[in-house]
């Protein structure tokens, strides 16, 4: 697994080859095996291929068009071009996996302190599931991209998903058509504080 951590890259160019269902299932199993706060397992994975993927991409595009005219995230407008670029990446990848927090509330509802603590715990749990999935994809010879630009089309994608819970992220999965160099990381000296 250490090799998968070292080898993992964010892939933005994919080959057109389909990913076999049994390979996708291995990736999903890895997500399901992630640790979760209070063993709540607050995740649901929606796999989109073929026609379903086209519908998801149409929802994403509709959301980006709406965001250009009437922003849901006005302070993030400077990142909208990046979201359009991400849509192009999503079109290339043969598989999209949408990650839903089944215990989450739709955006806009005020949170109590208890709700906020649960949200933090669920977010960590879903992050662990997503990390398990991208590392497993790497081990299986696939590329992946962990996508948060879905929030620019949050309403439209939630309508398309038509499921309980809150959309947290998406993963693009496929055979990589690039091998980018490792991006620079902050040093241990800059990120770790030893005490005791």
Q: How many domains is the chain built from?
A: 1
Residues sharing a CB contact under 8 Å with residue 35, sequence separation 6 or more, in sequence order: 125, 128
Give the pLDDT of residue 70: 86
Of 163, 175, 168, 165, the residue nearest 92 (C-alpha)? 175
How large is the average pLDDT for residues 72-80?
87
In a domain, 88, yes or no: yes
pLDDT reading at 172 higher than 80: yes
Give the pLDDT of residue 76: 87
In a domain, 83, yes or no: yes
CA-to-CA distance for 156 and 195, rounded, in angstroms?
47
Are 116 and 195 within 8 A, CB to CB? no
Q: What is the mean pLDDT of the chain?
A: 94
How large is the average pLDDT for residues 107-131?
89
- Render pLDDT for 65-74 as a digit per residue (tens, 0 to 9): 999 998 877 8
Of 30, 9, 3, the residue nearest 89 (C-alpha)? 9
**How many residues does this entry show for the chain?**
196
Q: How confident is the model at residue 127 (pLDDT cuts 50, 70, 90)?
A: very high
pLDDT reading at 153 higher than 80: yes
CA-to-CA distance for 49 and 13, rounded, in angstroms?
17
Q: How confident is the model at residue 104 (pLDDT cuts 50, 70, 90)?
A: confident
Q: Quote the crossing angle between the two packed helices 113-139 and 21-32, to the nearest 10°.
A: 140
pLDDT reading at 106 higher than 70: no
What is Dmax (Cα atoms) for the chain?
56
The CATH number of residue 14's host domain is: 3.40.109.10
How large is the average pLDDT for residues 118-147?
96
In a domain, 185, yes or no: no
In a domain, 186, yes or no: no
How large is the average pLDDT for residues 21-25?
98
Could you list the residue range(s) of the whole structural domain that residue 36 is in? Answer: 2-177
Of 138, 171, 177, the residue nearest 8 (C-alpha)? 138
In a domain, 81, yes or no: yes
In a domain, 195, yes or no: no
How large is the average pLDDT for residues 27-31?
98
pLDDT reading at 161 higher than 90: yes
**Portion of the chain with pLDDT greater than 70, in percent:** 97
Give the pLDDT of residue 110: 80
pLDDT reading at 93 higher than 80: yes
In a domain, 50, yes or no: yes
In a domain, 95, yes or no: yes
pLDDT reading at 109 higher than 80: no
CA-to-CA distance for 49 and 143, rounded, in angstroms?
16
Give the pLDDT of residue 107: 65
CA-to-CA distance for 106 and 168, rounded, in angstroms?
10
């Amino acid at each position: 697994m250490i090799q998968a951590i070292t080898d993992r890259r964010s892939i933005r160019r994919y080959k057109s080859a389909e990913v076999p269902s049994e390979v996708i299932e291995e990736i999903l199993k890895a997500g399901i095996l992630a640790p979760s706060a209070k063993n709540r397992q607050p995740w649901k994975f929606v796999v989109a291929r073929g026609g379903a993927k086209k519908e998801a991409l149409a929802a994403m595009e509709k959301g980006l068009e709406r965001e250009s005219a009437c922003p849901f995230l006005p302070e993030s407008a400077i990142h909208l071009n990046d979201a359009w670029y991400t849509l192009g990446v999503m079109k290339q990848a043969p598989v999209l996996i949408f990650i839903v927090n089944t215990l989450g509330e739709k955006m806009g509802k005020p949170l109590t302190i208890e709700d906020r603590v649960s949200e933090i715990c669920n977010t960590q749990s879903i992050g662990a599931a997503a990390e398990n999935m991208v590392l497993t994809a790497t081990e299986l010879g696939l590329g992946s991209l962990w996508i948060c630009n879905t929030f620019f089309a949050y309403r439209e994608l939630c309508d398309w998903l038509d499921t309980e819970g809150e959309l947290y992220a998406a993963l693009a999965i496929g055979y990589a058509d690039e091998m980018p160099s490792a991006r620079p990381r902050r040093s241990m000296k800059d990120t770790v504080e030893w005490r005791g």
